[in-house]
Structure formats: C-alpha cells, structure tokens
Amino acid sequence: MIIDARDRLVHFLDGGASFEAMLVIKMTKDGKEVVHVPLWDENTTMRDVMEVTFHNLLKMVEDFTAGFLTLRIREGLNLVHIPVKTFSVESPWKAVTPEQMSRIKGIEAAVMY
C-alpha cells in the first residue's frame, strides 16, 4: 500500500492525485449541504490512508529500535513483543525478567527476543 501511495501521489501513476482532489469543501447538492472529503478510492478516505501509513511508520521505528536494544540489553532481561490493538498507544514491547515472563497474560502469543 505504501509503494502504491508513493507512486500515485509523487509520481502521478495510476491517474495520480491532483492537489484539487485534496480539498475539503462544503457544497449544496439537491438542497442538502454535503461535505466532500478527499478519497483514495470509492470506500477509503485519504484520512484512513494517512492514519494507516503513519501507524506503520511508527511501528517500524519502534521495532527497529527494539531490535537494536536487544544487542545492548542487560543480562537477565528479555524483550518480549506482545501484540496490542491496532492504533493503540501502548507499546507492544516489554522488558521483562524470566520471573515476570511466566506471569504475563497472553504470553502464548508473545515472541521473545
């Protein structure tokens, strides 16, 4: 999705995306006020695309940082990745001792590094 977004927005492939399409406007249609929001396709708003893209970027940075922390982590600690809900502000990465590891709820789904 990210590569497609870049190609469409930056390189104007697959029809491109003109800056006029990014306008949010209120207009009257058949006597009713309608708010036009930018759309990626028929069912997806640009806001949804931007939210997913930003979430994926933050997740990649967090995973990258955790990967480097595993090289320098103190003896007796482990980094554990426990899945969280999408768009959660809680980090999926936990630094735990072996004793804490046995008490983590949902540890079956966790991956230890």
pLDDT, tens digit, for every residue of 50-93? Answer: 888 888 888 899 999 998 988 888 888 888 888 888 888 888 89
Determine the pLDDT at residue 112: 60
30/53 same-domain check: yes
- Tell me the residue range of the domain where 110 lies: 73-113
6/54 same-domain check: yes
49/6 same-domain check: yes
24/47 same-domain check: yes
46/86 same-domain check: no
Interior angle at CA 31, CA 30 and CA 35, nearest 5: 85
45/87 same-domain check: no
Residue 12 lies in a domain: yes
pTM, two decimal places: 0.64
Which candidate, 26, 28, 53, places its Cα nearest to that of 37?
26
pLDDT, tens digit, for every residue of 65-76? Answer: 998 988 888 888
